[in-house]
């Protein structure tokens, strides 16, 4: 019987503790291949390298570092390194939560999303910045959840956030709502050149059944994600608005 082939990646880099812990957690679940960025790519979202060469650091047959983004890693694994023989993509364990609107910026979630775009089952896993607070119970959950997704075999995408300390349980959640209180600081370097630094505080708006609420209450949050960003509730209003435009009235062809 052939072993299932599992691709592990992240955005913290191939030497990060999170991906090492993930590899240890999923050991024996299938044949593990680690294809991850050579350096940290946090906040890279779904960016990819186009028209530029990326360096490949093949440490051994199952550990490859890519001088690119998390999305690059999944694409290169699919098209070349693993030759389209992937049964599951797992991204993480990220050092820091990816909750609510964070998923729009997260390289961790983007890597899993790329796996889903390629029609693989995909899971993104995140935890507190202090990864030592992740318990054996949470890791056992990750293994069993990935095994379930692997056995199910159909394309899917989910984002898991592990609480700090011992979890009370696991909840199926929706994305919450973040508030980014962005502040731009202006500084000069030693050469007298100005630099702008984006920083600020982060808070959340309570959302019933949301992922932030679950993690704050010490539950494992599992959020199913969808690739279709269409605002379906706005389509009817948009049709009416388009009909009001004079240029649209002049079109010879109408649906």
Q: What is the mean pLDDT of residues 212-235?
A: 93
User: Which residue reads 């898991």 in tokens?
Assistant: 160
144: nearest Cα among 29, 9, 30, 10: 29
94: nearest Cα among 162, 48, 27, 28: 162
pLDDT at 2: 74
Express as a percent the part of the chain with pLDDT over 70: 91
Q: Which two tokens stand for residue 154?
A: 């159909």
Q: What is the mean pLDDT of residues 107-133?
A: 96
Q: Which residues contact 66 (CB under 8 A, 6 or more apart)?
A: 35, 36, 37, 38, 54, 55, 56, 57, 72, 73, 76
pLDDT at 148: 97
pLDDT at 201: 58
Q: What is the pLDDT of residues 66-90, one digit of tens each?
A: 999 999 999 999 999 998 899 999 9
pTM tops 0.85, yes or no: yes
pLDDT at residue 255 greater than cutoff 60:
no
* Higher local confidence (pLDDT), 70 or 201: 70
Q: Which two tokens stand for residue 38?
A: 């050579």
Whether residue 34 contacts residue 14, with contact meaning beta carbons closer than 8 Å, is answered with: yes
Distance (Å, whole) CA 31 – CA 159: 22
Whether residue 183 contacts residue 199, with contact meaning beta carbons closer than 8 Å, is answered with: yes
Distance (Å, whole) CA 206 – CA 196: 32
Q: What is the mean pLDDT of residues 21-38?
A: 96
Give the N- to C-terminal CA distance of the chain in Å, as an integer.
54
Q: Which two tokens stand for residue 226?
A: 């969808």
Q: Which two tokens stand for residue 100?
A: 């609510």
pLDDT at residue 202 greater than cutoff 90:
no
Q: Which residues contact 211 (CB under 8 A, 6 or more apart)?
A: 99, 100, 159, 161, 173, 174, 175, 176, 221, 223
Q: What is the pLDDT of residues 133-152, one digit of tens each?
A: 999 999 999 999 999 999 99
pLDDT level of residue 117 (50, 70, 90 thresholds) = very high
Whether residue 115 contacts residue 77, with contact meaning beta carbons closer than 8 Å, is answered with: no
Q: What is the pLDDT of residues 158-172, one digit of tens each?
A: 999 999 999 999 999
Domains in the chain and their CATH numbers?
Answer: 5-176+207-230 (3.40.1210.10)
pLDDT at residue 244 greater than cutoff 80:
yes
Q: What is the mean pLDDT of the chain?
A: 90
Q: Which residues pair with 250 in a beta bridge?
A: none
Express as a percent the part of the chain with pLDDT over 90: 67
Peptide bond connecting 93 to the previous residue in cis, omega within 30 degrees of 0: yes
Q: What is the mean pLDDT of residues 166-195?
A: 81
Distance of CA 21 to the CA centre of its chain: 17
pLDDT at 254: 58
pLDDT at 24: 97
pLDDT level of residue 41 (50, 70, 90 thresholds) = confident
Reduced to 3 states, what is the DSSP secondary structure of residue 219? Answer: coil
């Amino acid at each position: 019987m052939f072993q299932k082939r599992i691709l592990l990646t992240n955005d913290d880099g191939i030497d990060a503790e999170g991906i090492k812990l993930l590899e240890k957690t999923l050991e024996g679940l299938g044949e593990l291949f680690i294809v991850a960025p050579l350096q940290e790519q946090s906040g890279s979202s779904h960016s990819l390298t186009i028209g530029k060469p990326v360096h490949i650091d093949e440490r051994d047959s199952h550990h490859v570092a890519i001088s690119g983004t998390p999305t690059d890693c999944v694409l290169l694994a699919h098209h070349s390194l693993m030759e389209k023989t992937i049964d599951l993509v797992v991204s993480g364990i990220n050092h820091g939560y990816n909750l609510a609107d964070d998923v729009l910026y997260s390289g961790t979630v983007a890597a899993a999303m790329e796996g889903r775009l390629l029609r693989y089952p995909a899971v993104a896993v995140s935890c507190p910045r202090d990864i030592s607070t992740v318990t054996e119970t949470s890791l056992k959950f990750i293994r069993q959840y990935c095994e379930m997704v692997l056995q199910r075999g159909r394309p899917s995408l989910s984002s898991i956030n592990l609480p700090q300390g011992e979890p009370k349980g696991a909840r199926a959640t929706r994305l919450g709502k973040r508030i980014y209180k962005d502040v731009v600081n202006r500084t000069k370097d030693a050469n007298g050149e100005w630099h702008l630094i984006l920083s600020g505080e982060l808070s959340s708006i309570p959302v019933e059944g949301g992922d932030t609420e679950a993690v704050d209450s010490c539950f494992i949050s599992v959020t199913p994600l969808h690739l279709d960003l269409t605002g379906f509730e706005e389509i009817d209003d948009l049709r009416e608005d388009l009909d009001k435009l004079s240029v649209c009235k002049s079109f010879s062809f109408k649906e």
